[in-house]
Structure 1
Amino acid sequence: MNFLINSLEVGKKMIGLFSFDGPMYRDCNGVYCNTTITSEMFSRYFQVVDKLIVVIRTMHLEVTYEEANLKKVEFNGLEFVEIPNLNSINGFLIDRQKYKKVIKEQVEKADLIFARMPSVISDITIYYARKMKKQYMVEVGGCAWDAYWNHGLKGKLVAPYMFLNELKGVKHADFATYVTEDWLQKRYPSNCNAISASNVYLEELSEEVLNMRYKKIRSKKKDAPMIIGTTAAVNVKYKGQEYIIKAISELNRKGFNFEYELVGGGDNSYLKKIAESEGVADKVRFKGLMLQSEVFKWLDSIDVYAQPSKQEGLPRALIEALSRGCPAIGSMTAGIPELIQPNMLFEKGHIKQICSILIEITKVDLSTVASENFSRAKKFELENLDNKRRKIYKEYSKSIITKCN
């Protein structure tokens, strides 16, 4: 311990460890890439570390990152340690013991540990951090119970175990960040220095965006279709897009004119079959995966954003929609009620409530809603969140030295 203090005093390079189930992707040329786990995200940790070891579930692609429509992840000082899917049967029975040793080795190297949860890899990281009596920070990005309970029978079997792991990991953390203002804090309380700071980061918002939204609302013709949009993987059932499809089917049979656009990767066959069986195949469009810059342009083209999830933390896609002044509706799930108006919320999977909200939307001037949403998004501007993180990161870094003394 004294050696560590002396090393830090003379300028020892600080090593950080970031753990998460991800996934991260590696393309056919060995380039790491993603859409949400980006170079910009990793840059925040370099406020307090010189090197960051990223211990993360990694999936290999047979195409380039450009062809996969992903962003290249590159930052001086990043080192990736690839972990397979430890949630699978093979991962649990065969790979887990092997990769527990790999994770242990990385924990031994680290001075500062950032464990994003829920995550099997982070559970293991925290286990070894506590065993080695190392301080660690948790980044609480979602609920393990919801994440696993909504994944079929196998998910329901492991949900209690994963819930207790997250509960224990957060409770014993030395520092914590939560993506919600209140919801996750109540479900996973901590006894440490904690802040609320979303993983979403927006550049400074321009009032011109809001003015463009006003103009779109004012110029919309009565007989034009009302276009709803959702950004989420189309092969993940807990994202709830099927409920919007069923709702617009019911409404269009009553004479309304709703259309639905879905942005996101994955096999869309399940949702496509629902659209066909509901008679709205011509009203539902699958837009595929988009880069963030493309998503923003698309958000400007739709009338209403929908977040019908059965499980969430604080959805990035919804916040991005708010930043474009987009009126939004959503389920009463996790942190969603913290973001949008109470009269825009529905019980998850409740199609009649969705229909009622959409009918009301056709009757009112959405300019006030657009203005409120734009204002809410401002607290997610990068500078505001960075100031919060910078403070707690520095306190964490300082505590390493203080504890060793």
Structure 2
Amino acid sequence: MKKILIVSSVSRQFYLFEQGNIEVLKSLGYEIHAAANFNDVNERLDTLDIIRHHFDIERSPFSFKNSKAYYQLKHIMKSEKFDAIHCHSPIGGVLARLAAKAVGNCPVIYTAHGFHFYKGARFINWAIYYPVERLLARYTDHLITINKEDFKKANEFKAGQIHYVPGIGVDTDAFNNTALNREMKRMELGISDDTFVLLSIGELIKRKNLETLIRAIVKLENQNFVLLICGRGVLESFLKELTVSLEIQEKVRFLGFRNDIKEICIASDVFVFPSYQEGLPVSVMEAMSAGLPVIASEIRGNTDLIKNGVGGYLLSPDDINGFSESIQVLLEDAKLRKDMSVKNKDEVKRYDSSIIKNKMREIYSSL
């Protein structure tokens, strides 16, 4: 049986983003191994048919532990004699490609889930990550990028083959399931039928820029709304305290990590996503699949998905007034929301998970 090793920094990569790839690899007859730091282990991993290998990788490029992790990973590769390697994350991609080069002949796939150098990124990002990715592209048989900006930049590199595969896709049919009942989910959440529901999904970290959204809703004229925030993160306490200081704590609901995102999307009216940096956000694709207009930051990834004025609005990440005004427009115009809903549900079909799986099947088969 053929054996492939999927490498990432954290194990949640496998159940959040690799299920489609694992399904394709199984159908091609691969025995699937997964290497990561499994300190973030979750019971959802048990649903995957993978063989686990722990190594002490750290996400920080400055961690000395990564030198040890490199030797651990090289040992795993030597012991198992894999037929292929598929690596993810900046540090996972670095260590896996260096280890694969040291061990010997084995085709390597690297998926860049959003280069850390991009239009508007800090100089230090370009200084650290750009030369590393450019160099390691020489050790990469298939370099996969998930948005158009990264694909264009990757074509400056000397990788074996460079592909544009837009993320992991989204199961658009799952959002058309009649079992997803808007009224019942609202009742469960304690939200009345006439309340306007804003939704945002993502880690509560600086990169997701939820402070801009919270400050924007303070300015809304119509106060018959609620903002649902799904996710956890280090800024949770800060953001909750901010709502208190702005006296809008009754308008913002922190729902934490959720397994019912589809239902929550269906129960909402508008999706707001003011992030500073993205590769190709799955949460935006899910919102589009649910027929939600999207108000988002005008950044890489978001601009691939949303056409300004068609499926929603694109704004500078720090434009508090712009976010507030865009929300106000959609709050008051049900017909515009409906038109944008139709546009997004049609546009997101291009990113259906079945299309992504077919693209990955072609790449894996070519090995």
Q: TM-score, normalised by structure 2?
A: 0.83
- The alpha-carbon distance between structure 1 residues 244 and 44, as it changes in their structure 2 partners (threshold 3 A), is same
Amino acid at match of 1:16: I
C-alpha contact 1:17 1:106 (8 A) present in aligned 2: no
Match of 1:73 among 46, 58, 68: 46
Q: C-alpha separation between the residues in 1 aligned to 2:301 and 2:245?
A: 32
Identity of aligned residues (%): 18
C-alpha contact 1:225 1:257 (8 A) present in aligned 2: yes
Displacement, 1:83? 2.6
Alignment of 1:26-175 (within 5 A): 36-37=16-17, 39-48=19-28, 50-60=30-40, 65=42, 71-76=44-49, 78-88=50-60, 92-93=63-64, 95-108=65-78, 109-117=81-89, 119-131=90-102, 132-145=104-117, 160-170=127-137, 172-175=139-142
Alignment of 1:172-211 (within 5 A): 172-180=139-147, 182-189=148-155, 190=157, 191=159, 192-202=161-171, 204=173
Residue 252 (structure 2) aligns with: 284
Q: C-alpha separation between the residues in 1 aligned to 2:14 and 2:358?
A: 25
C-alpha contact 1:326 1:373 (8 A) present in aligned 2: yes
Residue 188 (structure 2) aligns with: none
Residue 29 (structure 1) aligns with: none
Q: C-alpha separation between the residues in 2 aligned to 1:185 and 1:354?
A: 29
- Count of aligned pairs between the two proteins: 346
Displacement, 1:37? 4.0
Amino acid at match of 1:369: M
Residue 220 (structure 1) aligns with: none
Residue 219 (structure 2) aligns with: 250
Alignment of 1:289-300 (within 5 A): 289-291=257-259, 294-300=260-266
C-alpha contact 1:53 1:106 (8 A) present in aligned 2: no
- The alpha-carbon distance between structure 1 residues 275 and 298, as it changes in their structure 2 partners (threshold 3 A), is same
- 1:265-305 superposed Cα distances (whole Å, 9 cap, x missing partner): 235101112212222111110011111xx111111111101
Displacement, 1:122? 1.7
Flag structure 2 segments of 5+ consecutive residues without an equivalent: 183-192
Flag structure 1 segments of 5+ consecutive residues without an equivalent: 1-12, 26-32, 151-155, 214-222, 398-405
Tell me which moved more, 157-166 or 33-42: 33-42
Matched, 1:319 2:285: yes
Aligned alpha-carbon RMSD (Å): 3.1
C-alpha contact 1:228 1:259 (8 A) present in aligned 2: yes
Alignment of 1:311-390 (within 5 A): 311-343=277-309, 344-364=313-333, 365=335, 366-390=337-361
Matched, 1:24 2:4: no
Q: C-alpha separation between the residues in 2 aligned to 1:134 and 1:303?
A: 48
Matched, 1:238 2:204: no
- The alpha-carbon distance between structure 1 residues 34 and 259, as it changes in their structure 2 partners (threshold 3 A), is farther
C-alpha contact 1:56 1:83 (8 A) present in aligned 2: yes
- 1:118-170 superposed Cα distances (whole Å, 9 cap, x missing partner): x2122011123334353311112112236xx68xxxxx856632333233334
Amino acid at match of 2:76: Q
Amino acid at match of 2:209: G
Amino acid at match of 1:325: G
